[in-house]
């Protein structure tokens, strides 16, 4: 028959000394004061409307490389939209007969003056208009990307002098 063991005859290992910084947490008010933040229940809300939190941030630097990438992508999107807009607008105007009416008016005016015939479609044909929109779009891409990148460099210089733009964010 095994003999009962008392506290002096325990076979348990002695307790290890506590590591520095791992001691018991300070006990505050309430039952959740000693728990880590992830285990704590949410703080009770006050009745009525709670005041929103406000945070003041300062934008002290803008990365020119990221500004250049974003400006390039946005200007490419604007160029594509411009080409599509020109093509759709030309198709709608042609379908409505605007170009033929303008051509008839020019033919009437040129017959009064006795000059040679003038063909409007030689100058504002679909291919020419779309090509012009593509050229303007490429120039737009280069200029907007360069201007945005230069603006980022100028902002960084000005922000180093005056501290940058201060923002106040709230969670309303």
Residues 126-145 have pLDDT tens digits of 999 999 999 999 999 999 99
Q: Which residue has the higher pLDDT, 54 or 44?
A: 54
Q: The pTM is what?
A: 0.63
pLDDT at 171: 86
Domain boundaries, the chain: 68-164
Question: What does the alpha-carbon distance between residue 25 and residue 36 come to, in Å, rounded to a whole number?
Answer: 9
Residues 15-35 have pLDDT tens digits of 555 555 555 555 555 555 566
């Amino acid at each position: 028959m095994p003999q009962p063991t008392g506290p002096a005859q325990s076979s348990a290992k002695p307790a290890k000394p506590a590591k520095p910084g791992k001691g018991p947490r300070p006990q505050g008010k309430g039952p959740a004061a000693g728990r880590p933040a992830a285990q704590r229940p949410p703080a009770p809300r006050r009745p009525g409307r709670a005041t929103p939190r406000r945070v003041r941030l300062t934008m002290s630097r803008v990365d020119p490389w990221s500004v250049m990438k974003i400006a390039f992508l946005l200007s490419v999107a604007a160029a594509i939209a411009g080409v599509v807009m020109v093509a759709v607008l030309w198709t709608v105007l042609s379908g409505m007969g605007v170009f033929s009416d303008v051509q008839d008016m020019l033919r009437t005016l040129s017959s009064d003056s006795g000059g040679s015939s003038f063909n409007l479609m030689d100058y504002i044909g679909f291919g020419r208009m779309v090509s012009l929109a593509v050229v303007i779009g490429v120039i737009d891409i280069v200029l907007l990307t360069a201007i945005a990148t230069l603006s980022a460099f100028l902002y960084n210089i000005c922000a180093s002098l005056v501290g940058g733009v201060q923002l106040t964010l709230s969670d309303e």
